[in-house]
């Protein structure tokens, strides 16, 4: 007869030596570990934020930009300066490859309104005048002729010692030459033919500088409205001390610049490169 083995009765741990832990809900250990890890991450993030804010507060504040100098040029104003004593030898090649502009000479005074008469500084020391002869009792002495105070010469800001010079009807950027060259590098600044608040430049032989086909030329006034507009230029801020940008009346977004030592009209704006080639100084007359 087969002997039957006794079967284990459920829920009787004393039969196999194992007893379940009934003091806690199953899985709570993992929940405690996950909660502890989450709290550690939050504490680390809060600490990092506090440290970052304190470092930002302790940094030195940014230095304010220096105020512009008293001699700087403002829009609409042309300044009057003495010409360069000794012209610096320009580098060879195209003028639009010029390096950064040198320091500007001291500004002597601000130009008067267009067409106004005022005293101008002479480019060089003049010889003392001789005493006038005693007048004849029968004929009063003639009054001395007043000099033309509107005469000026135009110097390139990026090429000191080179001036506007009329040659074969075109306006070029040349160094100072003989007496004839000095005369062709001297102009009368008058009220603009098209806008009296701007300027026109008149040569010694009665011609005006005007742009035609975007090239600056010296031509006779034909009396047309187009000529008056082509011969009128307005001064604007250039960013270089004592220098100005001369924009066209009928092409407001175009300004005079030198390129390959030739004066011409080119687009001028915020994205313009070689901006120093658009800057010119109005100085005492060379002639």
The whole-angstrom separation of Cα 259 and Cα 57 is 52
CB neighbour class for 231 (10 Å; exposed up to 12, middle 13-18, buried from 19): buried
The whole-angstrom separation of Cα 24 and Cα 30 is 12
Q: Is residue 134 part of a domain?
A: no
Q: Domain span at residue 185?
A: 148-287
Count the neighbouring beta carbons within 10 Å of the beta carbon of residue 111.
Answer: 19
Are the CB atoms for 221 and 229 separated by under 8 Å? no
CA dist 14 → 7, 22, 122, 216 (Å): 13, 15, 124, 116
Are the CB atoms for 93 and 271 separated by under 8 Å? no
Count the neighbouring beta carbons within 10 Å of the beta carbon of residue 157.
Answer: 24
Q: Is residue 222 part of a domain?
A: yes
Q: Is residue 4 part of a domain?
A: no
**In which element (H, E) is residue 227 found?**
helix 225-230
Q: Is residue 214 part of a domain?
A: yes
Residue 187's nearest CA partner among 212, 161, 162, 205 is: 205
pLDDT value for 111:
46
What the block records as the tokens of 161 is 């010692």
**pLDDT, tens digit, for every residue of 40-80?**
888 888 888 888 877 766 654 444 434 444 443 334 445 44
The whole-angstrom separation of Cα 203 and Cα 209 is 8
pLDDT at 261 over 90: yes
What the block records as the tokens of 243 is 């220098």
State what percent of residues in the chain have pLDDT above 70.
58
Are the CB atoms for 69 and 126 separated by under 8 Å? no
Residue 210's nearest CA partner among 244, 182, 233, 177 is: 233
Residue 121's nearest CA partner among 112, 110, 108, 111 is: 108
Structural domain total, the chain: 1
* CATH at 190: 2.80.10.50
**pLDDT, tens digit, for every residue of 117-151?**
544 444 444 444 555 555 555 555 665 555 556 89
SS3 188: strand
Q: Please give the average per-residue pLDDT across 259-272, as a whole number.
A: 91
- Opening angle at CA 251, ends 183 and 235, nearest 5: 50
The whole-angstrom separation of Cα 47 and Cα 51 is 6
pLDDT at 106 over 70: no
pLDDT band at residue 102, thresholds of 50, 70 and 90?
A: very low
Q: Is residue 61 part of a domain?
A: no
Are the CB atoms for 262 and 170 separated by under 8 Å? yes
Give the mean pLDDT of the chain: 74
- Which residues have a Cβ under 8 Å from the Cβ of 59 and sit 6 or more positions away? none
Q: Is residue 254 part of a domain?
A: yes
The whole-angstrom separation of Cα 37 and Cα 145 is 99
pLDDT at 169 over 50: yes
């Amino acid at each position: 007869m087969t002997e039957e083995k006794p079967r284990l009765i459920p829920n009787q741990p004393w039969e196999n030596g194992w007893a379940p832990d009934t003091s806690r809900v199953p899985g709570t250990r993992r929940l405690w570990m996950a909660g502890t890890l989450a709290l550690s991450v939050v504490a680390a993030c809060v600490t990092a934020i506090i440290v970052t804010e304190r470092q930002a507060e302790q940094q030195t504040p940014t230095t304010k930009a220096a105020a512009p100098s008293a001699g700087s040029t403002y829009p609409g104003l042309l300044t009057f300066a003495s010409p360069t004593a000794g012209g610096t030898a320009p580098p060879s090649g195209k003028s639009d490859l010029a390096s950064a502009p040198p320091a500007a000479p001291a500004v002597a005074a601000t130009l008067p309104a267009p067409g106004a008469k005022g005293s101008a500084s002479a480019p060089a020391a003049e010889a003392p005048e001789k005493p006038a002869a005693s007048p004849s009792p029968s004929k009063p002495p003639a009054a001395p002729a007043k000099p033309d105070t509107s005469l000026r010469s135009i110097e390139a800001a990026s090429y000191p010692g080179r001036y506007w010079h009329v040659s074969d009807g075109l306006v070029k950027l040349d160094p100072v030459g003989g007496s004839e060259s000095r005369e062709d590098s001297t102009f009368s600044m008058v009220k603009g033919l098209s806008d009296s608040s701007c300027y026109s430049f008149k040569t010694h032989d009665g011609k005006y500088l005007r742009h035609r086909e975007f090239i600056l030329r010296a031509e006779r006034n034909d009396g047309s409205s187009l000529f008056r507009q082509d011969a009128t230029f307005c001064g604007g801020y250039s960013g270089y001390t004592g220098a100005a940008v001369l924009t066209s009346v009928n092409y407001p977004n175009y300004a005079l610049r030198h390129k390959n030592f030739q004066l011409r009209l080119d687009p001028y704006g915020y994205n313009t490169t070689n901006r120093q080639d658009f800057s010119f100084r109005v100085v005492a007359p060379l002639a």
